[in-house]
Amino acid sequence: MSVGRVHGAHGLRGELKVFPLTDDPERFKRLRAVWLAEGDEEPGERRAVEAVRLSGAFILIKLRGIDDRTAAESAAGRWVRIARSQSRALPAGSYYMFELIGLKAVTAAGETVGTVREVLKAPAQDILVIDREGEDILVPMVKEWIRAVDPRAGIVTIATIEGLV
The Cα-based distances of 61 to 69, 96, 106 in angstroms read 13, 22, 37
DSSP assignment string, 65-115: T--SHHHHHTTTTPEEE--GGGSPP--TT---GGGGTTPEEEETT--EEEE
The predicted pLDDT at position 163 comes to 66
Domains of the chain: 2-86 (2.40.30.60), 97-158 (2.30.30.240)
Residue predicted with more confidence, 125 or 84: 125
The predicted pLDDT at position 165 comes to 57
- pLDDT tens across 27-72, in order? 899 899 999 998 766 678 999 999 999 998 899 999 999 999 999 9
For the entire predicted model, the pTM comes to 0.63
Task: Give the type of residue at 60.
Answer: L
8 Å CB contact between 151 and 139: no
For residues 89-111, give the mean pLDDT: 83
